[in-house]
């Protein structure tokens, strides 16, 4: 075939990037089911549609989705009103919304907030009523309660984590730096207007005010140091390896900061159940209701999950009103939240208002359709919720907070490292190990370099990792817990479509510049004399490592490069 040079092109300007897999969201899917391969391109966004008549037929939204109770700003009760849920669903399905950016396969914006959450904002606006101002109110609460250096992964529903340097700067995470994971808005609840309903399969259903629950003569106080870890922690490593489910909210692109540790004060849920006369058969689970509104598959609900009674019975489920010596911040569930020790963060319901004793694990979407851990060969086109393991106890994991991947480090034989280690289910880190050679040889972090043990808490650590070599190395961190569980050695081994529980050993690539070596030391001195900055690593500087005389002198005194025969 003759190829003519010409100006006409059928390429798109980003052809090369697409061919190199750098714009995965623009790739056609190849359909090879027939004799010819078909290219299935992502469709252009269709024009937005709004069926005004259908929306109007639902009725007055301000009345329909009104605040259920005075003093509970941002609260719409959905679970008691199936017909209200249906109407909300009709509103959301009678129109289309602008598509959201694909951060999972495409580029992640370099902004803070990283993602705006436009779809959730649009859904809230479309529903109206009490939800109208929730997005703005929530952001105001973030700005009021959170550290100004927080990395806002998603503006609404708010999801944010501290930057690496602040994740482990304290063993107890200061409240403004504790990560936040929300599925909906942040309700603003007046403590004196709040109460908790306990119903379902209990002998005597009850309502409790906060003062009732704080009555120490009735419910003994409990004070615990508890680490909350989101199952999405370190998700970005799975995303970087392979694209997974790209749904914006459940899949906030967390790094290592979706974990935090605080000292909580409250009571054991078990005592409250006892106060209600105990469970009635066949109750085996407790369904926990949060005030906030969550939209899943355009269905609207309150945030609802469940925990098994066996966990409650062991006094491992706490109702807490105090966090690090302060009333619970609004963003963390004021006035009362649940803490399920050693479980995935998703069970620790914030803005708790109802507990219902039930027979089986909750059918609510967060419990039954999300936070599921699938086999690696289960993905978008062959997934059924019943195939996933319901994530409850968290496995052992760890992370290096310093240095960062792709950093160059000038050192004299040891690289200063810092990080955290955690294990769920009442197990705790016993040993943290670091490798400077990709996981072949392991150094133990001296036990004295780990923070104190706690049954339900992480341990922070630091270590000067010996490193003799120059060049790119991979530092790996892994933890062994007290049951001798440890972490899979690579991401692929634990990769899953839902991008949950990135528990593999944490790997970072760093460039080692070892000043203990004479050649390196001399060369660094030369760079300094010439006033050439060290960064960036990959910049070429025309400074030879040898003078012409040194070069020639070498060949005069050594075997030549070439041989004659
Ligand atoms: N009511 C309510 N409770 C909730 C959530 C939520 O969206 N709504 N998110 C859960 C998830 S997934 C996690 S990881 C933790 C995070 O707790 P934090 O925001 O206090 O760090 O809260 C859990 N409790
Ligand atoms: Mo979570």
Residue-level pLDDT at 248? 62
Is residue 348 in contact with ligand 1, taking CB distance under 6 Å? yes
List pLDDT tens digits, range 114-153: 999 999 999 999 999 999 999 999 999 999 999 999 999 9
- The per-residue pLDDT for range 105-125, each reduced to its tens digit, is 878 889 999 999 999 999 999
> With 70 as the cut, is the pLDDT of residue 26 above it?
yes
Q: Assign a CATH topology to domain 52-372.
A: Sulfite Oxidase; Chain A, domain 2 (3.90.420)
Residue to mutate (ligand 1; options 141, 159, 182, 306; most atoms within 8 A of CB): 182
Ligand 1 closest atom vs CA 179: 21
Q: Within 10 Å of residue 112's Cβ, how many Cβ atoms?
A: 12
Please report the atom of ligand 1 found closest to the CA of residue 338: 24
What is the reported pLDDT for 542?
A: 80
Q: Domain 394-565 is of which CATH architecture?
A: Sandwich (2.60)
pLDDT of residue 250: 64
* Mean pLDDT for all residues in the chain: 95
Nearest to 398 by CA among 533, 157, 233: 233
Q: Distance between CA 542 and CA 62 in Å, rounded? A: 70
- What is residue 107's DSSP assignment? P
Q: What's the CA dihedral at 16, 18, 19, 25 to 10 degrees?
A: 180
Using one digit for the tens of pLDDT, what is the confidence trace for 57-80? 999 999 999 999 999 999 999 999
- Atom from ligand 1 closest to the CA of residue 260: 21
Please give the distance, rounded to the nearest whole angstrom, from the Cα atom of residue 344 to the centre of ligand 2: 7
Measured in degrees and rounded to the nearest 5, phi and psi for residue 40 equal -100, 100
Q: Show the tokens assigned to 229.
A: 């870890």
Q: How far apart are CA 520 and CA 534, in angstroms?
A: 12
CA distance 527 to 534: 8
Tens-digit pLDDT profile for residues 426-477: 999 999 999 999 999 999 999 999 999 999 999 999 999 999 999 999 999 9
| Percent of the chain residues past pLDDT 70, beyond the cut | 99
Ligand 2 centroid from CA 261, angstroms: 14
* Distance from C-alpha of 126 to C-alpha of 453, rounded to nearest angstrom: 49
In order, the DSSP letters of 373-430 are E--TT--TTT--GGGSEEP-B---EEEEEES-TTEEEEESSEEEEEEEEE-STT--EE
Q: What digits encode the pLDDT tens for the residues 363-379?
A: 999 999 999 999 999 99
Sequence spans of domains, the chain: 1-44, 52-372, 394-565
The pLDDT score that the predictor gives to residue 374 is 95
Ligand 2: distance of its center to the CA of 305 in Å?
12
pLDDT digits (tens, 9 = 90+) for 383-421: 999 999 999 999 999 999 999 999 999 999 999 999 999
Two tokens, residue 16: 């090369």
CA distance 92 to 98: 13
Q: Pocket of ligand 1, candidates 326, 345, 353: which has the most ligand atoms within 8 Å of its Cβ, to mutate?
A: 345
- Answer whether 178 contacts ligand 1 (Cβ < 6 A): yes
Residue nearest ligand 1's atom 23 by CA: 346
């Amino acid at each position: 075939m003759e190829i003519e040079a010409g100006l006409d092109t059928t390429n798109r300007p980003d052809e090369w990037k697409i061919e190199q897999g750098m714009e995965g969201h623009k790739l056609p899917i190849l359909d090879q089911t027939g004799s010819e391969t078909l290219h299935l391109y992502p469709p252009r966004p269709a024009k937005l549609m709004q069926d005004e008549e259908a929306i109007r037929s639902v009725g007055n939204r301000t009345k329909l989705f009104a605040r259920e109770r005075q003093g509970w700003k941002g609260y719409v009760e959905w679970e008691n009103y199936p017909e209200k849920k249906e109407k909300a669903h009709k509103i959301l399905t009678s129109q289309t919304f602008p598509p959201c950016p694909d951060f999972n396969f495409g580029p992640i914006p370099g902004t803070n907030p990283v993602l705006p959450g436009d779809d959730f904002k649009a859904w809230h606006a479309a529903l109206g009523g009490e939800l109208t101002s929730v997005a703005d109110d929530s952001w105001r609460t973030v700005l009021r309660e959170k550290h100004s250096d927080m990395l806002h992964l998603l503006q609404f529903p708010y999801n944010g984590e501290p930057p690496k340097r602040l994740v482990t700067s304290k063993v107890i995470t200061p409240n403004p730096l504790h990560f936040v994971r929300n599925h909906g808005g942040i309700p603003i609840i007046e403590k004196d207007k709040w109460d908790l309903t306990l119903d379902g399969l209990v002998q005597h259903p009850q309502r409790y005010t906060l003062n009732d629950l704080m009555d120490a003569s009735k419910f003994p106080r409990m004070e615990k140091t508890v680490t909350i870890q989101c199952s999405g922690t370190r998700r970005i490593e799975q995303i970087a390896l392979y694209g997974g489910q790209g749904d914006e909210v459940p899949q906030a692109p967390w790094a290592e900061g979706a974990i935090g540790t605080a000292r909580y004060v409250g009571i054991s849920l078990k005592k409250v159940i006892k106060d209600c006369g105990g469970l009635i058969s066949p109750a085996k689970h407790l369904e926990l209701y949060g005030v906030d509104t969550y939209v899943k598959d355009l269905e609207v609900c309150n945030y609802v999950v469940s925990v098994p009674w066996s966990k409650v019975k062991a006094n491992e489920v706490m109702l807490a009103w105090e966090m690090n010596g302060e009333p619970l911040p609004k963003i963390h569930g004021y006035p009362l939240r649940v803490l399920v020790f050693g479980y995935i963060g998703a069970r620790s319901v914030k803005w708790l208002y109802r507990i219902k004793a039930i027979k089986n694990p909750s059918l609510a979407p967060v419990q039954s359709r999300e936070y599921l851990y699938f086999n690696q060969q289960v993905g978008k086109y062959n997934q059924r919720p019943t195939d996933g393991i319901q994530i409850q106890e968290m496995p052992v994991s760890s992370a290096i907070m310093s240095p960062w991947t792709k950093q160059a480090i000038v050192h004299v034989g040891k690289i200063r490292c810092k990080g955290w280690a955690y294990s769920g289910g009442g197990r705790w880190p016993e040993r943290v190990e670091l490798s400077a050679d990709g996981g072949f040889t392991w150094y133990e972090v001296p036990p004295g370099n780990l923070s104190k043990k706690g049954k339900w808490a992480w341990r922070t650590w630091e270590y000067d990792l010996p490193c003799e070599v120059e060049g790119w190395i991979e530092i790996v961190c892994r933890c062994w817990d007290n049951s001798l569980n440890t972490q899979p050695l690579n991401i692929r081994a634990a990769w899953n479509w839902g991008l949950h529980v990135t528990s593999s050993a944490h790997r970072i690539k760093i460039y080692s510049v070892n000043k203990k070596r004479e050649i390196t030391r001399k060369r660094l001195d030369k760079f300094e004399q010439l006033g050439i900055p060290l960064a960036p690593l990959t910049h070429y500087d025309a400074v030879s490592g040898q003078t012409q005389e040194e070069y020639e002198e070498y060949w005069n005194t050594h075997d030549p490069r070439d041989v004659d025969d």
